[in-house]
Structure 1
Amino acid sequence: MNDNTWKITENIEIPEEAVEMIMLENEKSLTDRIYSVVKRSPFGIAGLVGFSTICGIGMYKWKTRTVSPSIFLTQLRVIAQGTAVGIISLGMLYGMYNDYIKKKKKE
């Protein structure tokens, strides 16, 4: 690479508003950050809660199982997949509601 490649660029001045905005974003508290994540993607949080629930149920039932481990793990996988599909379906229905029904009410 030629040394003159970087010399032909121009310096850009960053507006003070942008710098202040970046500084304010970095100074947000943990609860504000969590709230903004929940507001942007509520079904992502629902997915994490579903995952935690399935893992908890799986750990509890692993101790008290009466079937072979392969059948138990197969059943647990089916339950986890059903939970994931259910949460994805709810998310799609929520998105369709926002896109079609709420927009018609606003117009």
Structure 2
Amino acid sequence: MSDYGENESKFMRKAKENPFVPIGMAGFFAIVGYRLMKMKNRGDTKMSVHLIHMRVAAQGFVVGAMTIGVLYSMYKDYIAKPKADQKALSNK
């Protein structure tokens, strides 16, 4: 079994590799927390409808963060990297 410090460094390493995963997780929990606090003031809305809206909003945020992360990764790999490679070749 690994100790807590090793797990923490592994999470931090993964977060540095792909920063949109912790952003997606934080947004998910923020939306769920906000919607749970607003549950008292939902008015005439049924509980099931309120929970469905909460789920859709949270999932939408996570999917959006994942999409932005993939687009950013593709930009780094296919647009920014070839330009850097071309500069290195031209300097030789």
Please give the range of the TM-score, normalised by the shorter of the 2 chains: 0.7 to 0.9
Please, what TM-score do these two structures have when normalized by structure 2? 0.72
Structure ID, larger Rg: 1
Q: Which has the higher contact order (CA 8 A, sep 6+)?
A: 2
1:41 CA drift (Å) = 2.3
2:18 pairs with 1:41 = yes
1:76 aligned to 54, 59, 63, which one?
54
Q: Percent identity?
A: 38
Aligned to 2:80: 102
The SS at the match of 2:27 is helix
Q: Which amino acid aligns with 2:36?
A: M
**Count of equivalent residues:** 81
Once the two structures are superposed, residues 11-32 of structure 1 have per-residue CA deviations (whole angstroms, 9 ceiling, x without a partner) of: xxxxxxxxxxxxxxx8xx67x7
Decide which structure has greater helix share: 2
Q: CA RMSD in A?
A: 2.3
The SS at the match of 2:42 is coil
Where structure 1 has 5 or more consecutive residues not aligned to the other structure, the ranges are 1-25
Runs of 4+ in 1 over 6 A off after TM superposition: none
